[in-house]
């Protein structure tokens, strides 16, 4: 009963503030951890899947040491498309000078494994 009596003596502005605070929804923030680094096997499998999605790639020749041009038969434009697909798959942005160095599956695996922001 004391609460009701005390609330009755509050100024009108204070009463409306308290009433509006009680009616406001509660918004909770979620904090996610990084979840750990990607394993080389996960990276390799995801890059293999990217290459499997390309019609021009001979599926039997995909291996960790496959060159995009020599072994898989991709031209320079196809290689750019593969690098762009890798960027999208791992949510990273690869600078042009670094993208030019990615010429094989091994190069792509190495590059992504050294990126801490890849997921």
Q: Exposed, middle or buried, 62 (CB in 10 Å: 0-12/13-18/19+)? A: middle
Confidence of residue 48 (pLDDT cuts 50, 70, 90): very high
Instruction: Parse the chain into domains and list their residue ranges.
Output: 40-113
- The whole-number pLDDT of residue 109 equals 96
| Structure token pair of residue 68 | 């995009």
Across residues 57-64, what is the average pLDDT?
91
Q: What is the pLDDT of residue 38?
A: 83
Q: Which residues are catalytic?
A: 75
For residue 83, give Cα distances in angstroms to 12, 67, 68.
Answer: 64, 13, 10
Asked if pLDDT for residue 80 goes beyond 90, the answer is yes
What is the fold of 40-113? 1.10.1200
Question: What is the pLDDT at residue 87?
Answer: 96
How many Å separate Cα 49 from the centre of its chain? 17
Mean pLDDT of the chain: 82
pLDDT confidence bin for 119, thresholds 50/70/90? confident
**pLDDT level of residue 6 (50, 70, 90 thresholds):** low
């Amino acid at each position: 009963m004391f609460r009701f009596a005390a609330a009755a003596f509050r100024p009108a502005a204070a009463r409306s503030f308290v009433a509006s605070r009680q009616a406001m929804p509660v918004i909770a923030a979620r904090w996610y951890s990084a979840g750990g680094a990607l394993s080389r096997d996960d990276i390799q499998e995801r890059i293999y899947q990217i290459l499997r999605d390309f019609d021009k790639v001979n599926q039997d020749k995909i291996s960790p040491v496959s060159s995009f041009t020599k072994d898989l038969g991709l031209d320079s434009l196809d290689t750019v498309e593969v690098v762009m697909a890798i960027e999208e798959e791992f949510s990273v942005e690869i600078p042009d000078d670094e993208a030019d160095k990615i010429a094989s599956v091994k190069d792509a695996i190495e590059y992504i494994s050294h990126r801490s922001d890849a997921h």
